[in-house]
Structure 1
Amino acid sequence: MIESIQIKESPVFEHLQIDLHTGLNVFSGASGSGKSVFMESLLAIFGIKDSNAKSLQAILSNLKVDLEDYDLQNEEEIILSITKKDKTRYNLQGNFIAKKTLQELLSPVIKHISLKNATELLSENILNTFDNLIKNQDPSYQDSLLLMQENYKSLKEVKQQYQALLEKEKNIQDLKDLATFEIKQITNINPKLGEYEELIALKKTLSKKEKIQEKIQNALQAFEHLDNIQTALDALEIDLPHFYDSIYEAKGILEDQENKILSLDEINPEELLQRLSDLALLNQRYGSIESAINHLHIQEQKLKDYENISFNKEKLLKQQDVLSNKCHLIAKDITAYREKFLPLFLEKLQTLCTTLKLQTIQIILQESILNSTGTQEIQLKLHNTPIQNLSTGEYNRLRLAIMCLNSDFNHNTGILVLDEIDANLSGEESEGVAKILKKLSSSYQIFAISHQPHLPALADTHYLVYKEGQKSQIKILDTSGKIQEIARMISGSNITQEALDFAKKRLGL
């Protein structure tokens, strides 16, 4: 709810600070006092209207919104401010946010009844209200709806997979040619992990082959003079027990390396360089030999999938048939529930419409394409008049009826802002609107402008908007103030005793 609002330098409010209350809040006052200007400021808080003041601030509480989704901290109280200088800035909990973000954040909890902008009267929302009524009467209906949603979701996914295969099939030959080319390119080279590094090392060895071979031969010649070393050691009476072990180990290593170098004579340098060039090409194209081998496996699998595309299409079509049949069977159960409870839905909605002085309502259930709620759509008519042809007054009163019925089952909470909802209505119509809004006020914090006495008489809080010099003020009326204001609304500025008596009677005094 909105706990309070502060308005500075708007067209009619120099500085206004007012606490707001739960339930039905009604604003009245003489024409031109600033009621609509206040409502515009109120709607600006939610990003529905542009700010008409240089500064707006509101304290909100108990809103069912998750600020963490917008990188903000969840708290019981939300402080929202709007400043307007060269441009309008929105600040939530001390953080600047975009107007669009503000709208997205608060749209689930705010409803504005003005022109024909209602989502409540869309077929899917009316059907949802009907389904909520059925679930309230028979909880097992919820199982059918959930089962329908799950199977329809699976059906939708299978259809998407099938469409993706059809798209692939359009370009299948090009895709197969590309996969075949890349597979052939990699398999022709047939790379091995670590091979490139080994060949680089071998190339370096080949480049130094003659120098290494010469040094090995010189070293091996030195072994021919080992006897001289031993003779000298004996003369000195020095015993080196491990000397010959190390010497012969070194000789063995040198001879082994000499044989390996001699074996390099069998290597064709041109073939080695060509092999290195081929491997370098794979490195350049795929990043590494390992990546090239992985890509080979991927392309081989893709080629296999391309070859199996007809089989996969047939498999998906069978899955579609199974799921579609299952969905239609569940839809039949849902239809049976709806047909059973349609008279009750009609009765409850007609009761509300009668209160609102609307004509006889018609509810039409008709077949539609399969969707997540079954195979039906719903239409409302007032005495054979489709919704889109209703007057604005009828349209918004019907909207209130749907909201009221839905709140009985959904326990919705939020904020409801109405422009002059009872303007151009007869006394009976206005009284009906007042009764429905009073009922809705148990779920919503409601703000409404009224020019007739019925809404103020049922209001939880009645605010008077009045001129004080050139600027306007708003105050909460006590019982005496309510009597005076309702009497003024009935008889005009010259308040009669009859109007005062009527006001007292409407207030139950």
Structure 2
Amino acid sequence: MLSQLYINHVAVISEATIEFEGGLNVFTGETGAGKTILIHAINAVLGERVSRDLIRTGESRAVITALFTDLSNAAQEALVQAGYPAEDASVLIYREISADGKSNCKIDGRPATASILKSISEYLLNIHGQHDNQQLLSSQKHVAFIDSFGELEDLAGRCRAAYHRYMDVRRELEDIQTDEAEKARRIDLLHYQIGEIEAANLQPDEEDELKSQRKMIQNSLRITQALGGSASLLDGEGESQGIIDQLGELVANMSEAAEYLDAARPTADRLTEISYEFEGFASDIHSLLDNLDCDPSQLDEIERRLDTIYSLKKKYGATIAQILAYHEKACNELEQTESSDARAKQLTEQAGRLLEEAASLADELFQKREAAASGFIKTVQDELTFLDMPSVKLSVRHQKKPLSADGIDDLELFISTNVGEDAKSLAKIASGGELSRIMLSIKNVLAAKDDIGTLIFDEVDTGVSGHAARKIGQKLAQVAANRQVIVVTHLAQVASFANRHLLISKSTHDGRTFTAITPLGREQRIRELARMTGGDDASKIALKHAEEMLADAGN
């Protein structure tokens, strides 16, 4: 259950620490005092998307923490799965919202994300707000109510998965079963493209090699002149000595000097090594000249080959590697297209099996929803009778529809508000007060199917007054006998049943608005109940009535 909620700089709440108890916790206060802010704060600490507008004016951040104790096994397992095992069956959740739009979340002091908070929130509490009544206006939600009541979510999930598998296969089959003339044209095109690429017999590094050869042939004269000049410098030409001969004389002179001067020996040895290197240079240059193949007649062939490669690159890819990749892709497509008849037969058989599986699951789901709907209607009807709606008869229209992801169920809740009247769509004839009590009844019925420790009702009594309001209070107290219930209400009849009554009040000083949350003792409760029924200037009669209301609720 939610044991403590700390709020700092949230809207009109400067700072507040709220202690909760088991049983029925009720918040009351004048309109605009900040009751709805509490619901926003709880939503925020559990990972819901929030606006920076939630931060109190003039502050840089808002902080909310929530302490949950006596966690259910399901909640503890959810925390373990999220990587935050709970100690002593309790967990402290922290969320900070900054004015710059950033959010900081922690679970038991360890960093977390808003999505993690949201994933575990469904195991901690369930919030029913005023707008939740609109769920009753959607027949899609009606199916979800029946599935939850009958614990059919797993079967519905398997039916949905089978239907999606069937649709995936059917889409692939439709892609294969294209127009035969179009398929023939595609096969011809693929044959041509594959043949064109294969005829070129491309090699991965061929283009670079061809460009290198072209460059060499186009500059063959310069290459020959440069190599020949280098050879002449080394070997000499005519009567002039070359570098090698001059180096030979230099080596001989230094070697002779080294015979008599030890200090000249290193230089003589180094010059000897250099002379050997220059002899090697000469040998390499002569080899290049001997092997130089610069046949100008090859240039035309090289240009034609490069033109072929350029033409293919314009069609199939910017590089030879991309052209070859396109070739492989085209071969695969051709193989699949030419064998599409066999694949189509295979897919047809597979689609038939999947459709049969989905239809079988949908039929099983229809039968179980039929049985669950009967029990659901009876159980909710008992709740409605208790809530002073004995003349209201709830029923379900359940018929078959074409197979879809959610089965073959065309299911919608119907209502008859008066004896003798035909049942009509709930969305068309239920009033606001009726919707509130019907939704409360459904929430109570479905709550019995889970072990969520805390239920929160935000003005669930909208549109209700008098004896019906008292019945709502009594029903909430019954629910609170087995779990924690937190209620925001404007009705004294509901508030009188509280185990813990908290007053939200607003005041203004120093040019700022402040909201305070105060636990009420018995005398304070009497005055608050009197205010709720008779206004701020509660008369003795109003106070007496409030006291009797409180005593009657206690009994």
What TM-score results when the alignment is normalised by the length of structure 1? 0.70
Alignment match, 1:404: 444
Give, in angstroms, the shift of residue 503 of structure 1.
2.0
CA distance in 2, matches of 1:415, 1:373: 28
* SS in structure 1 at match of 2:150: helix
Q: CA deviation at 1:254?
A: 8.4
Instruction: Name the counterpart of 1:78.
Output: 94
Q: CA offset at residue 499 of structure 1?
A: 4.2
- 1:507 and 2:548 aligned: no
Q: Once the 2 structures are TM-superposed, how far is the Cα of residue 462 of structure 1 from its aligned partner?
A: 0.8
Give the match for residue 65 of structure 2. Answer: 59
- In 1, the alpha carbon distance for the partners of 2:474 and 2:354 equals 47
| More off after superposition, 496-505 vs 401-410 | 496-505
How far apart, in 1, do the equivalents of 2:183 and 2:381 lie?
Answer: 59
In structure 1, runs of 5+ residues without a counterpart are 68-73, 95-99, 136-140, 220-246
Instruction: Work out whether residues 407 and 443 of structure 1, in 8 Å CA contact, stay in contact via their aligned partners in 2.
Output: no
Question: For residues 39 and 116 of structure 2, what CA distance do their matches in structure 1 show?
Answer: 12
Alpha-carbon deviation of 1:388?
1.0
Number of residue equivalences: 449
| Cα offsets for 1:355-377 (capped at 9, x unmatched) | 22331211222212323443113
Aligned mates of 1:343, 1:283 — CA distance in 2: 70
Residue 429 of structure 1 corresponds to 468
Partners of 1:451 and 1:22 lie apart in 2 by 21
Aligned match of 1:26: 26
**1:391 to partner: Cα distance:** 0.7
Cα separation, 1, equivalents of 2:19 and 2:102: 21
Match of 1:355 in 2: 386
Q: Where does residue 261 of structure 2 map in the other structure?
A: none
The answer to whether the 8 Å contact 2:489/2:495 transfers is no
Per mean C-alpha deviation after superposition, the further-off stretch among 372-381 and 168-177 is: 168-177
Question: Are 1:191 and 1:289, in contact at CA under 8 Å, matched by a contact in 2?
Answer: yes
Letter in 1 for 2:398: L
Q: Is the 2:165–2:354 Cα contact (8 Å) retained in structure 1?
A: yes
Q: 1:192 aligns with which of 169, 192, 203?
A: 203
Moved more, 101-110 or 45-54: 101-110
The correspondence for 1:156, drawn from 167, 175, 192, is 167
How far is 1:266 from its partner? 10
**Whole-angstrom distance in 2 between the partners of 1:400 and 1:168:** 57
What's 2:308 paired with? 278
Q: 1:40 to 1:182 in 2, by over 3 A?
A: farther
- Paired AA for residue 354 in structure 1: T
Distance in 1 between residues matched to 2:402 and 2:169, nearest whole Å: 17
1:319 partnered with 2:362: no
For 1:458, what is the secondary structure of its paired residue? Answer: coil
Q: Name the counterpart of 2:256.
A: none
Aligned with 1:338 (options 353, 361, 369): 369
Q: Deviations over 1:324-350 (max 9, x none)?
A: 122212222223333344432222121
Tell me the SS of whatever aligns to 2:539.
coil
Task: Show the counterpart of 1:394.
Answer: 434
Whole-angstrom CA distance in 2 between matches of 1:204 and 1:274: 15
Q: What aligned pairs does 1:121-160 form with structure 2 within 5 A after superposition?
A: 122-135=138-151, 144-145=155-156, 147-160=158-171
Match of 2:448, as an amino acid?
D
> Which of 38, 53, 66 matches 1:42?
38
C-alpha spacing 1:288/1:81, structure 2 compared with 1 (3 Å): closer
Identity of counterpart residues, as a percentage? Answer: 18
Letter in 1 for 2:540: I
Correspondence for 1:302? 333
SS at match of 1:474: strand
Assess if the C-alpha contact under 8 Å between 1:367 and 1:377 holds in 2: yes
| Distance in structure 2 (CA, Å) of the matches to 1:475 and 1:167 | 72
Number of the residue aligned with 1:364:
397
Q: What is residue 243 of structure 1 aligned with on the other side?
A: none
Secondary structure of the 1:364 match is strand
Offset of residue 293 of structure 1: 1.0
Q: Give, in whole Å, the separation in 2 of the partners of 1:388 and 1:465.
A: 34
CA shift, 1:173, in A, is: 7.4
The residue number in structure 2 matching 1:97 is none
| Aligned CA distance change for structure 1 residues 91 and 167 (closer, same or farther; 3 Å) | farther
Secondary structure, in 3 states, of the residue corresponding to 1:382?
Answer: strand
Contact 2:436 2:461 in 1 (8 A): no
Question: 2:396 aligns to what SS in structure 1?
Answer: strand
Residue in structure 1 matching 2:411, options 372, 378, 392? 378
Structure-2 residue corresponding to 1:460: 499
Query: How much has 1:469 moved relative to structure 2?
Result: 7.2
Which AA in structure 1 matches 2:472? V
Q: How far apart, CA to CA, are the structure 2 residues paired with 1:115 and 1:406?
A: 18
Alpha-carbon distance in 2 for matches of 1:352, 1:422? 15
What is the alpha-carbon distance in structure 2 between the residues aligned to residue 22 and residue 306 of structure 1? 69
| Amino acid of the structure 2 residue aligned with 1:505 | D
For the residue of structure 1 that corresponds to 2:492, the secondary structure is coil
* Alpha-carbon distance in structure 1 between the residues aligned to 2:118 and 2:302: 66
Equivalent position amino acid for 1:208 in 2: S
Cα deviation 1:31-83 (Å, max 9, x = unaligned): xx3x444134234444679649525543235598999xxxxxx9832223476
Alpha-carbon distance between aligned partners in 1 of 2:162 and 2:379, rounded to the nearest angstrom: 32
Q: State whether residues 488 and 495 of structure 1, in contact with CA within 8 Å, keep that contact through their aligned partners in structure 2.
A: no
CA distance in structure 1 between the partners assigned to 2:182 and 2:133 by the alignment: 45
Contact 2:398 2:412 in 1 (8 A): yes
CA contact (8 A) 1:331 1:375 kept: yes
Q: Is the Cα contact below 8 Å between 1:115 and 1:392 reproduced in 2?
A: no
Structure 1 counterpart SS, 2:540:
coil
- 1:487, distance to aligned residue in structure 2 (A): 4.8
Change (3 A) 1:131 1:296: same
CA 203–91 in structure 1, closer or farther in 2 if over 3 Å, else same: closer
Equivalent residues of 1:59, 1:78 under 8 A apart: yes
Instruction: With the length of structure 2 as denominator, give the TM-score of the two structures.
Output: 0.65
Over 3 Å counting, the alpha-carbon distance change for 1:170 and 1:482 in structure 2 is: farther
Alpha-carbon distance in structure 1 between the residues aligned to 2:503 and 2:155: 51
Tell me the CA shift for residue 477 of structure 1: 0.5
Deviation string for 1:440-476 (max 9, x for gaps)? 55566533122222x2232232122446677664311
Please state how far the C-alpha of 1:155 moved relative to its aligned partner: 1.1
AA of the residue aligned to 1:122: S
Is the CA contact (8 Å cut-off) linking 1:149 and 1:373 kept in structure 2?
A: yes
**Aligned AA (1:503):** L
Within a 5 Å distance, the mapping from 1:196-345 to structure 2 comes to 196-204=207-215, 206=217, 207-208=219-220, 211=224, 268-280=298-310, 282=312, 286-309=317-340, 311-345=342-376
| Contact kept in structure 2, 1:335 and 1:374, CA below 8 Å | yes
- After the TM superposition, which residues 463-502 of structure 1 pair with which residues of structure 2 at under 5 Å, given as runs? 463-466=502-505, 473-489=516-532, 493-496=538-541, 497=544, 499-502=546-549
Aligned pairs for 1:166-181 within 5 A: 179=190
- The equivalent residue for 2:7 is 5
